[in-house]
Chain A
């Protein structure tokens, strides 16, 4: 904050009316003590201490600054405190969520057979037993894990060709004509479709075609595609746009046809960005719950066929285990399974995000000299 030069014996005219360099630390020390005192009055806990200390720090630091430096500097310091405070507040839920999932989830994940078995045959009786007699919690997420992988795979198979080709149309052929402007607008609209509406659409679509109550993994994949396509179009479009026009011209000047130029020059140049965008799109839809809830139902058995019968997925598994525990009188085992599934889901999402960053970083074309 301050740029006081300690070495000069005479106080520089430029440092007059400025807080000394130790001011933030002194304020912090005062604030911690005041915070501790205030939180003890209400009932001491670490969280309350933190909140009170932060408020006290802001007050002390800003008041000191107002006294020494004047109101303009004080306002600046207040803004700094608020901005940093906003950031810390935003971090709280992130840390809390990840901590909760880690603590609660490892128990479930560490149970033998959690990843390898389904919920087939697990009923309230077993859960009551493990809650009262302390036997091992039975049942696992194998069916949901497979369901999530299959549904996401099919959604990707549907979305990537459509999304990528649309992006190619917009960048290479659309030329800002009426069709391409319409597509851009509708892609924007699609981005804003609530996920449950996408699920309702797929359900309504298949109900109209194949009779009411058609719930399969494929219907869920279609619902997820509605959410995924706009993301793929958007990210691929951005990536294709930043391919320099010079490369296209160089290719045309060699007598190469446009479609070969796109396939062999433009897409390979942009492929790392496209792949990273697709991975992020997968990461986004893999955690979607609502659309799968209304399109694939809940299953407790392993079902590897996306075209027939209900299918489970990790998000719907978590949802049903929490909202409708297998044993309503003893929800403990269900909660344990739900948190285990949540941990697995978060690990999947984080791995996908990591892959996306690595792909974008290491497979980018080398343009440097």
Chain B
């Protein structure tokens, strides 16, 4: 299920503007990796290149290699749509489909691709996905209610259930807790800890305590100034980044001296 990611010399462009420059990073399977850094440093942009979601934005393109267990995501003949069913994504704001029930939201990735599931199979998939997202007990009695009726934290966990129902190898999370209250945040953080048993998890966060709490390894991105590309400054075990950073910029950032 879980796969490792190796990124080699990756540059991201918006039109002619180079947004991210020369990233090399190796992300192990079954781990949680956090990306931290000041706003606009390209960490979210970089995250999106890991499942080619950046291509949704006009003019975005990439140079370099992203290897998923050795297979290049940007190789010739690779279908970006197929990439995304291997590498799932959870967004900043919970975005359940408003026209669908909780059940249909979980099944969305499977059903929307036109796959037919037997009733028993789909029930099993709904239950296992919601169990996997720690949401089953809260919603099992109202699977036919609209997903938008849940609280923010529940909605976000529904989105995670929706992502894992596609059975991805990797789950990317783009600031998944920034729109949530502290209690919901705690629930999602607990969930992330459980998810790493099965999946490779990559999370972008603005919250350094959160990075320290949930991740095994942390990558610090920084930007030299406006109009300059973002760069990967330091990548190491989370404890090392927070307690014993090698770079001055990292130390300044994690100690709150700038950013």
Determine, out of B84-92, B119-127, B208-216, B248-256, the stretch whose residues face the partner at the interface.
Answer: B84-92
- Chain B contacts for A367, CB-based, 8 A: 98, 148
Q: Identify which of residues 39-54 in chain B touch chain A, using a CB-to-CB cut-off of 8 Å.
A: 51, 53
Judged by a CB distance under 8 angstroms, whether A77 is at the interface is no
Q: Which residues of B contact A (CB under 8 A)?
A: 51, 53, 56, 58, 81-86, 88-89, 91, 93, 95, 97-99, 108-109, 112-114, 146, 148-151, 159, 162-163, 166
**Closest residue of A by beta carbon distance from B165:** A254
CB <8 Å contact, A265 and B159: no
Q: Which residues of A contact B (CB under 8 A)?
A: 175, 244, 246-257, 260-261, 264-265, 268-269, 271, 365-369
- Chain A contacts for B58, CB-based, 8 A: 175
Determine chain A's interface SS by DSSP, over half rule.
Answer: helix
- Chain A contacts for B109, CB-based, 8 A: 254-256
- Chain A contacts for B150, CB-based, 8 A: 369
> Known contacts being A257-B81, A265-B97, A269-B99, is A246 close to B91, with CB within 8 Å?
yes
Residue of A254, A261, A366, A369 near B166 (CB, 8 A) is A254
Q: Complex: how many Å from CA A366 to CA B97? A: 10
CB <8 Å contact, B51 and A369: no
CB <8 Å contact, A369 and B149: yes
B169, chain A: closest CB distance, angstroms: 12
CB <8 Å contact, A254 and B88: yes
Residue of B98, B113, B151 with highest tally of chain A CB at under 10 A: B98
Residue of B81, B95, B97, B99 near A255 (CB, 8 A) is B81
> Known contacts being A246-B93, A250-B97, is A265 close to B112, with CB within 8 Å?
yes
CB <8 Å contact, A244 and B95: yes
- Chain B contacts for A265, CB-based, 8 A: 97, 99, 112
A295, chain B: closest CB distance, angstroms: 40
- Chain A contacts for B151, CB-based, 8 A: 369
Q: Complex: how many Å from CA A365 to CA B99? A: 6
Residue of B81, B83, B146 near A366 (CB, 8 A) is B146
CB <8 Å contact, A250 and B148: no
CB <8 Å contact, B148 and A253: no
Q: Complex: how many Å from CA A367 to CA B166? A: 25
- Chain B contacts for A257, CB-based, 8 A: 81, 113
- Chain B contacts for A249, CB-based, 8 A: 53, 56, 89, 91, 95
CB <8 Å contact, B93 and A260: no
Residue of B85, B98, B148 near A254 (CB, 8 A) is B85
- Chain B contacts for A244, CB-based, 8 A: 95
Residue of B85, B97, B159 with highest tally of chain A CB at under 10 A: B97
CB <8 Å contact, B56 and A247: no
